[in-house]
Amino acid sequence: MSATCPQCATPDRSVPVSHALGDTAQPLDEPLRALLSPPPEPPPAGEGLSGAAIALSVLAAVFCLLGVLSLVRNREELAGYDPAYRTGYLMGPFVLPLILLAIAAIVEVVKRNRRPRVSGAGSPEEVARRKQHLLVWQAGWLCRRCRVAYFPEESIRPGFPASPAIPPEQFPFWVMTAAERAFGPDARPVVS
Ligand SMILES: [Zn+2]
Protein backbone atom coordinates (compact mmCIF):
# COMPACT_ATOMS: atom_id res chain seq x y z
CA MET A 1 0.00 0.00 0.00
CA SER A 2 1.27 3.44 -0.82
CA ALA A 3 -0.11 6.65 0.59
CA THR A 4 -0.01 10.22 -0.57
CA CYS A 5 1.05 12.94 1.81
CA PRO A 6 -1.73 15.53 2.18
CA GLN A 7 0.85 18.30 2.48
CA CYS A 8 3.21 17.74 -0.47
CA ALA A 9 0.71 15.57 -2.42
CA THR A 10 3.39 13.01 -3.29
CA PRO A 11 3.86 9.48 -2.00
CA ASP A 12 7.62 9.12 -2.51
CA ARG A 13 8.80 10.04 1.01
CA SER A 14 5.91 8.45 2.89
CA VAL A 15 6.29 5.37 5.10
CA PRO A 16 4.04 3.74 7.66
CA VAL A 17 4.83 5.13 11.12
CA SER A 18 5.75 1.65 12.41
CA HIS A 19 8.27 1.21 9.54
CA ALA A 20 9.75 4.65 10.14
CA LEU A 21 10.36 3.75 13.80
CA GLY A 22 12.09 0.49 12.86
CA ASP A 23 14.13 1.93 9.97
CA THR A 24 17.77 1.78 11.02
CA ALA A 25 19.01 3.11 7.65
CA GLN A 26 17.23 6.45 8.19
CA PRO A 27 16.65 6.63 11.93
CA LEU A 28 14.21 9.23 13.23
CA ASP A 29 15.49 11.82 15.68
CA GLU A 30 14.62 11.18 19.32
CA PRO A 31 11.84 13.81 19.76
CA LEU A 32 10.05 12.57 16.63
CA ARG A 33 10.52 8.95 17.69
CA ALA A 34 8.98 9.70 21.10
CA LEU A 35 5.97 11.44 19.55
CA LEU A 36 5.32 8.65 17.06
CA SER A 37 5.83 5.73 19.48
CA PRO A 38 3.01 3.23 19.92
CA PRO A 39 0.40 4.08 22.58
CA PRO A 40 1.71 3.25 26.07
CA GLU A 41 0.56 0.21 28.02
CA PRO A 42 -1.91 1.16 30.75
CA PRO A 43 -0.42 0.66 34.24
CA PRO A 44 -1.57 -2.67 35.69
CA ALA A 45 -4.45 -2.37 38.16
CA GLY A 46 -3.65 -2.41 41.85
CA GLU A 47 -0.07 -1.27 41.52
CA GLY A 48 1.54 1.08 43.99
CA LEU A 49 1.49 1.20 47.77
CA SER A 50 -1.00 3.40 49.58
CA GLY A 51 0.20 6.56 51.32
CA ALA A 52 -0.42 5.07 54.76
CA ALA A 53 1.60 1.94 54.00
CA ILE A 54 4.49 4.04 52.67
CA ALA A 55 4.43 6.32 55.76
CA LEU A 56 4.45 3.31 58.11
CA SER A 57 7.28 1.65 56.20
CA VAL A 58 9.36 4.84 56.33
CA LEU A 59 8.69 5.13 60.06
CA ALA A 60 9.73 1.49 60.52
CA ALA A 61 12.95 2.15 58.61
CA VAL A 62 13.72 5.18 60.80
CA PHE A 63 13.16 3.22 64.04
CA CYS A 64 15.25 0.37 62.66
CA LEU A 65 18.09 2.77 61.91
CA LEU A 66 17.83 4.28 65.41
CA GLY A 67 17.94 0.73 66.81
CA VAL A 68 21.13 -0.07 64.89
CA LEU A 69 22.72 3.19 66.06
CA SER A 70 21.88 2.51 69.71
CA LEU A 71 23.32 -1.04 69.37
CA VAL A 72 26.57 0.33 68.04
CA ARG A 73 26.72 2.79 70.92
CA ASN A 74 25.81 0.37 73.71
CA ARG A 75 27.70 -2.72 72.68
CA GLU A 76 30.43 -2.53 75.33
CA GLU A 77 27.96 -1.84 78.16
CA LEU A 78 26.32 -5.25 77.61
CA ALA A 79 29.47 -7.26 78.19
CA GLY A 80 28.66 -8.18 81.81
CA TYR A 81 25.04 -9.28 81.35
CA ASP A 82 23.66 -12.77 80.76
CA PRO A 83 22.84 -13.89 77.16
CA ALA A 84 19.03 -13.75 77.57
CA TYR A 85 19.16 -10.15 78.73
CA ARG A 86 21.59 -9.29 75.97
CA THR A 87 19.36 -10.88 73.32
CA GLY A 88 16.34 -8.97 74.64
CA TYR A 89 18.29 -5.76 74.71
CA LEU A 90 19.60 -6.29 71.18
CA MET A 91 16.21 -7.29 69.74
CA GLY A 92 14.24 -4.58 71.57
CA PRO A 93 14.79 -1.73 69.12
CA PHE A 94 13.55 -3.89 66.23
CA VAL A 95 10.21 -4.89 67.74
CA LEU A 96 8.54 -1.55 66.96
CA PRO A 97 9.69 -1.48 63.32
CA LEU A 98 8.37 -5.04 62.88
CA ILE A 99 4.99 -4.05 64.34
CA LEU A 100 4.86 -1.00 62.06
CA LEU A 101 5.69 -3.14 59.02
CA ALA A 102 2.98 -5.62 59.98
CA ILE A 103 0.44 -2.78 60.25
CA ALA A 104 1.59 -1.44 56.87
CA ALA A 105 1.06 -4.88 55.32
CA ILE A 106 -2.42 -5.15 56.83
CA VAL A 107 -3.36 -1.64 55.63
CA GLU A 108 -2.22 -2.58 52.13
CA VAL A 109 -4.15 -5.88 52.05
CA VAL A 110 -7.34 -4.20 53.31
CA LYS A 111 -7.00 -1.43 50.72
CA ARG A 112 -6.49 -3.88 47.85
CA ASN A 113 -9.47 -5.98 48.85
CA ARG A 114 -11.71 -2.93 49.05
CA ARG A 115 -10.75 -1.43 45.71
CA PRO A 116 -13.31 -2.03 42.99
CA ARG A 117 -11.64 -3.89 40.17
CA VAL A 118 -14.26 -3.15 37.51
CA SER A 119 -12.94 0.22 36.38
CA GLY A 120 -9.23 -0.51 36.88
CA ALA A 121 -6.57 0.19 34.30
CA GLY A 122 -6.40 -3.51 33.42
CA SER A 123 -10.18 -3.81 32.99
CA PRO A 124 -11.60 -5.29 29.77
CA GLU A 125 -12.73 -1.79 28.69
CA GLU A 126 -9.22 -0.44 29.09
CA VAL A 127 -7.70 -3.38 27.22
CA ALA A 128 -10.22 -2.91 24.39
CA ARG A 129 -9.46 0.83 24.22
CA ARG A 130 -5.75 0.16 24.09
CA LYS A 131 -6.34 -2.29 21.23
CA GLN A 132 -8.28 0.41 19.35
CA HIS A 133 -5.49 2.95 19.89
CA LEU A 134 -3.02 0.42 18.56
CA LEU A 135 -5.18 -0.26 15.47
CA VAL A 136 -5.30 3.47 14.70
CA TRP A 137 -1.59 3.91 15.41
CA GLN A 138 -0.76 1.08 12.97
CA ALA A 139 -2.67 2.92 10.25
CA GLY A 140 -0.55 6.05 10.64
CA TRP A 141 1.87 7.21 7.95
CA LEU A 142 4.76 9.64 8.09
CA CYS A 143 5.97 11.91 5.30
CA ARG A 144 9.67 12.31 5.90
CA ARG A 145 9.84 15.32 3.62
CA CYS A 146 7.16 17.37 5.40
CA ARG A 147 7.65 15.81 8.84
CA VAL A 148 3.93 15.28 9.21
CA ALA A 149 1.86 12.23 10.05
CA TYR A 150 -1.41 11.37 8.38
CA PHE A 151 -3.99 8.64 7.96
CA PRO A 152 -4.88 7.73 4.37
CA GLU A 153 -8.54 7.29 3.49
CA GLU A 154 -10.07 4.09 4.94
CA SER A 155 -6.77 3.12 6.54
CA ILE A 156 -8.27 3.14 10.04
CA ARG A 157 -11.41 1.29 8.97
CA PRO A 158 -13.68 1.12 5.91
CA GLY A 159 -15.53 4.37 5.32
CA PHE A 160 -13.21 6.39 7.54
CA PRO A 161 -12.08 9.60 5.82
CA ALA A 162 -8.47 10.62 5.20
CA SER A 163 -6.91 12.85 7.83
CA PRO A 164 -5.24 16.17 7.16
CA ALA A 165 -1.48 16.53 7.68
CA ILE A 166 -0.88 16.07 11.42
CA PRO A 167 2.10 17.75 13.13
CA PRO A 168 3.97 15.08 15.16
CA GLU A 169 3.16 16.94 18.41
CA GLN A 170 -0.53 16.28 17.78
CA PHE A 171 -0.13 12.67 16.65
CA PRO A 172 -0.71 10.95 20.06
CA PHE A 173 -3.85 13.02 20.63
CA TRP A 174 -5.01 12.31 17.09
CA VAL A 175 -4.64 8.55 17.65
CA MET A 176 -6.89 8.77 20.71
CA THR A 177 -9.60 10.91 19.12
CA ALA A 178 -9.59 8.92 15.87
CA ALA A 179 -9.97 5.69 17.88
CA GLU A 180 -12.93 7.22 19.66
CA ARG A 181 -14.48 8.30 16.37
CA ALA A 182 -13.81 5.01 14.58
CA PHE A 183 -14.60 2.50 17.34
CA GLY A 184 -16.19 4.41 20.20
CA PRO A 185 -19.87 4.14 21.21
CA ASP A 186 -20.80 7.02 18.84
CA ALA A 187 -18.99 5.51 15.84
CA ARG A 188 -21.12 5.31 12.74
CA PRO A 189 -21.75 1.78 11.43
CA VAL A 190 -19.63 0.66 8.50
CA VAL A 191 -21.26 1.35 5.13
CA SER A 192 -20.25 -1.30 2.63
ZN1 LIG B 1 4.83 15.46 2.45
Each residue's pLDDT tens digit, 60-76: 888 878 877 877 776 66
pTM, whole model, 2 decimals? Answer: 0.60
Q: How far is the CA of 79 from the centre of ligand 1 (A)?
A: 83
pLDDT computed for residue 192 by the predictor: 46
Q: SS3 of 62, please?
A: helix
Close Cβ partners of 147 (under 8 Å, ≥ 6 residues apart): 32, 168
Q: How far is the CA of 83 from the centre of ligand 1 (A)?
A: 82
Q: How far is the CA of 13 from the centre of ligand 1 (A)?
A: 7
Q: How far is the CA of 152 from the centre of ligand 1 (A)?
A: 13
Q: How far is the CA of 144 from the centre of ligand 1 (A)?
A: 7
Q: How far is the CA of 123 from the centre of ligand 1 (A)?
A: 39
Residue 13 has pLDDT above 60, yes or no: yes
Q: How far is the CA of 43 from the centre of ligand 1 (A)?
A: 35
Tell how many helices (H) and how many strands (E) occur in the chain.
6, 3
